[in-house]
Every structure is written in C-alpha cells, then in structure tokens.
C-alpha cells in the first residue's frame, strides 16, 4: 500500500528550542525511517535566537520550508492574550501554506496540524483543497474554553473539521469532549524520546564537569523557559528558606530571565545557568537529584519529564494540566503550585534520601517502558 505524503504545519520547528520542536524532530525522523514523504511548513525560529537558519532544508524524504516572520519576544508577550497570539501566529503561516499548497497539493494526502494556530490554518486549507485527510495534535491544555464564548465557538469549528484528533493526555480529551467534539475521533498520544541520549550518568562526575557546588547535598533541577507562568519565582521563594546545601539549578532562558536574576541576587543556592544545548542538559540531568516543574499554568506533555525519568531522575510536578498523567508515585510526586508546597516536597526528599533513591531506581525502567518510539505508531495509524 502506497503511503500518503504528509504535510506537517506548525509555527515552531527546530532550530527553535522547545518541547513541541523536540517532538516534531523525533516524529519527522520516525516518518523518514518509515519511508513517508514529509513536508514541513513552519516559521523561522520565533523564540530561540538563531543567527543563521535554513529557509529550505532537506533530509532524505523530509523537506522543511521556514518562512520569515517577526521574531523576538512577541510570542511570549501575547501568551496571556489568546486573541493577540492568534493574530500573531496565524496570518503568515496561513498565507504561505495556501501558496505552497497551490503548487504542491497533489503531493499531499494527509495534513497534520500541531496546535490550535496550525489547526486553524489546516481547516482553511481544507476548504480550498478538499479530500485531504486531516489530523490535529493539541499539545496544549486550553483552559479558556468557556462554553458559548467566541473562542470556544471558533475552537470547536476548527477541530470539528478533522478526521482524527490526537490529544495531549486524558485531560485534553476531556476538555474537547466538554465542548461537544466527537470523542470517537480522539486518541490520546504519548511523546517518546531518544533513550540513548538521555541515560543514567555518574552524579558526582557530572557535577564536577559542570562546576556545580561541591558542598551540595541535594540539587534540584529546573529545565525550561524562564517565564512567570512556569513557577520560577515560586521556586525562588522556596529556595530562600531552604538549607544552604540544597541548590536549585535552573537551565534555560526567557523574557523573565533578567528579572529573576535580579530578584535572586544574594540567594547563593539559586543558580541560573542560561540556555544550554541538549547534550549539556543531559549532563545537568545526570548531576541533579531530581527535576522539578513548578508550573502555574496548565502543562500538556513536557519533554523534560520523560528526559529526567530516562536519565534515572525522579520528578516533582505541580498538579496543573496533563503533566501529572505522565508518571506515577513510583517515580515522582505531584504538588500544589505554591512556595510552601515546593519547599515541603524538596525537604521531604532531602530528609528521606532512601525515598529518593527508591524512586530513582524505578525511573529509567518506567521511561523505557512508557516513552519508547512505539508511541509513534499511534500517529502513523492516524494517517490511514
């Protein structure tokens, strides 16, 4: 049976850095190995600063087109305002995708949209180029979907036009069904990761190689965008009252980095490293005792949870969104998104190292079983 050509639409794709970008990198690699013809339409890096990006790139059967669009901190600025973010991310991608399809629609059998903006683009494309199978991956938890609101009406119209909806966890599926979308069209999909890149490493060697404090009895690691909604300021407040031999290490950059750096001045056990490569992040995972995600906003499927578990490190995650569905009590803890809960969870593992080591021993086997490349088959099945 001949495999259909796959058109992937998403505002974000490597070398932009993020969880969705990592997922798409792994997905296109899987599809290439499975001998699919893949076309990716995306923007140039909008969030990550990249001096030289390829507007046109080809890797075997995967072709990527990156369109110019204003970058900087526009995406982060508009995050609290869905309408503004929609107006920022959609127009250029819609215009360029329609233009590309006018020349290449015969090569495409399936359109796979990632996120709401891309889903809107794909829905419009479907009007002009009918007969294509349409698949959407949600990637996010959309908490502003109040029944009857304009946003909810548009959201329902967009996703009702898809043949298959791949939801970022059970929580995502529940909120879509609550809008009246057909549950039969939905499948929960799980991310996967490169299990060879993220492996267990010697903790003390990693700490020495990275120049982390030698007196650290416990290192708590955060990896992600430095945004208020990620709970980094709550983590700072918790760090201020922790014992001095507990260090909080934050790997990443973002719009709130300078403010965080200013407010953490004088807090010796709160370390900001800046943005690091994926290889370096693997070393930081090796150096830490556990990973924390103190998010205030709804999280879907953060890649760092999988990466931490694959590296043999437990996770502490706030009870926001679908992230809590990614692990169980054998390998992690769920907490409330406030400084007191963060502090108490850290102290619990500090005072009970045997509990931490028990979770640590279960972490990698858990990741190997749950987050392997077999998860990609759910997506491939959606194309049929």
Same-domain check for residues 173 and 257: no
Does any domain span residue 184?
A: yes
* CATH assignment of the domain containing 68: 3.40.50.2000
The domain tally of the chain equals 2
Does any domain span residue 197?
A: no
Report which of 274, 294, 283, 225 is spatially closest to residue 254, judged by C-alpha positions. 225
Q: Are 41 and 8 spatial neighbours (Cβ–Cβ below 8 Å)?
A: yes
Report which of 376, 370, 285 is spatially closest to residue 328, judged by C-alpha positions. 370
Same-domain check for residues 26 and 169: yes
- For the cut 80, the answer to whether the pLDDT of residue 266 exceeds it is yes
- Over the range 315-345, which residues count as b (16 or more CB within 10 Å of their CB) and which as e? bbbbebbbbbbbbeeebbbbbebbbebbbeb
In sequence order, which ranges of 288-338 are alpha helices (DSSP H)? 303-310
Does any domain span residue 49?
A: yes
Same-domain check for residues 183 and 258: no
Provide the residue range defining the domain that includes 229: 203-370
Structure confidence at residue 242 (pLDDT): 98
pTM of the shown model: 0.91
Same-domain check for residues 157 and 83: yes
Same-domain check for residues 19 and 151: yes
Sheet containing 315-318: order of strands: 270-274, 246-251, 218-223, 290-293, 315-318, 332-335
Does any domain span residue 180?
A: yes
Confidence of residue 13 (pLDDT cuts 50, 70, 90): very high
Pairing of strands 62-67, 38-43: parallel
80-84, 100-104, 161-165, 202-206: least confident range: 80-84
**60 — alpha (psi -120 to 50), left (phi > 0) or beta?**
left
Instruction: Report the mean per-residue pLDDT for the chain.
Output: 94
- For the cut 90, the answer to whether the pLDDT of residue 322 exceeds it is no
- CA distances (Å), 377 to each of 47, 134, 138, 358, in order? 30, 17, 17, 32
Same-domain check for residues 161 and 290: no
56-60, 148-152, 316-320, 353-357: least confident range: 148-152
Phi, then psi, of 260 in degrees rounded to 5 = -65, -40
- Helix or strand or coil: residue 283? helix
366: Cβ–Cβ under 8 A, 6 or more apart, which residues? 309, 327, 328, 330, 331
Same-domain check for residues 323 and 378: no
Same-domain check for residues 185 and 211: no
Neighbours of 256 (CB within 10 A): 18
Q: Is the peptide bond before 15 cis (omega within 30 degrees of 0)?
A: yes
- For the cut 80, the answer to whether the pLDDT of residue 145 exceeds it is no
The pLDDT tens digits of the residues spanning 208-258 come to 999 999 999 999 999 999 999 999 999 999 999 999 999 999 999 988 999
Same-domain check for residues 227 and 119: no
Same-domain check for residues 153 and 298: no
More confident residue, 281 or 300: 281
Does any domain span residue 291?
A: yes
- Measured N-to-C along each axis, helices 339-351 and 232-240 cross at an angle, to the nearest 10 degrees, of 60
The pLDDT tens digits of the residues spanning 271-293 come to 999 999 888 999 999 999 999 99
- For the cut 70, the answer to whether the pLDDT of residue 143 exceeds it is no
Same-domain check for residues 229 and 171: no
- For the cut 70, the answer to whether the pLDDT of residue 144 exceeds it is no
Does any domain span residue 147?
A: yes
Does any domain span residue 220?
A: yes
Same-domain check for residues 170 and 228: no
- For the cut 80, the answer to whether the pLDDT of residue 147 exceeds it is no
Structure confidence at residue 51 (pLDDT): 81
């Amino acid at each position: 049976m001949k495999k259909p050509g796959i058109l992937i639409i998403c505002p974000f794709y490597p070398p932009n850095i993020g969880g969705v970008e990592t997922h798409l990198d792994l997905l296109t690699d899987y599809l290439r190995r499975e001998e699919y013809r893949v076309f990716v339409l995306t923007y140039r890096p909008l969030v990550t600063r990249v001096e030289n990006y390829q507007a046109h790139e080809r890797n075997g059967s995967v072709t990527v087109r990156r369109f110019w669009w204003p970058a900087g901190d526009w995406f982060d600025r508009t995050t609290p305002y869905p309408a503004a973010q929609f107006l920022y991310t959609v127009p250029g991608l819609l215009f360029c995708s329609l233009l590309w399809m006018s020349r290449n629609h015969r090569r495409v059998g399936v359109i796979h949209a990632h996120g709401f903006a891309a889903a809107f683009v794909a829905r419009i494309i479907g009007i002009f180029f009918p007969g294509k199978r349409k698949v959407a991956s949600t990637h996010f938890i959309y908490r502003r979907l109040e029944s009857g609101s304009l946003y909810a009406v548009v959201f329902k119209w967009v996703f009702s036009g898809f043949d298959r909806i791949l939801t970022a966890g059970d929580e995502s599926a529940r909120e879509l069904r609550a809008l009246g979308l057909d549950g039969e069209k939905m499948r929960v999909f799980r991310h996967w990761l490169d299990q060879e890149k993220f492996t267990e490493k010697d903790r003390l060697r990693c700490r020495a190689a990275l120049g982390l404090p030698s007196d650290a009895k416990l290192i708590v690691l955060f990896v992600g965008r430095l945004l208020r909604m990620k709970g980094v300021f709550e983590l700072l407040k918790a760090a201020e009252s922790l014992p001095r031999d507990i260090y909080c290490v934050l790997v990443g950059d973002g719009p709130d980095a300078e403010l965080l750096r200013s407010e953490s001045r004088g807090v010796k056990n709160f370390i900001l490293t800046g943005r690091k490569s994926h290889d370096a992040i693997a070393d930081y995972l090796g150096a830490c005792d556990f990973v924390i995600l103190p998010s205030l906003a709804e999280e879907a499927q953060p890649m760092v949870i999988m990466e931490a578990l694959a590296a043999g490190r437990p996770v502490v995650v706030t009870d926001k969104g679908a992230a809590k569905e990614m692990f169980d009590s054998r390998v992690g803890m769920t907490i409330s998104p406030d400084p007191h809960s963060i502090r108490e969870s850290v102290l619990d593992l500090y005072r009970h190292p045997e509990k931490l080591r028990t979770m640590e021993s279960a972490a990698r086997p858990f990741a190997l079983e749950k987050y392997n490349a077999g998860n990609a088959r759910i997506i491939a099945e959606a194309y049929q």
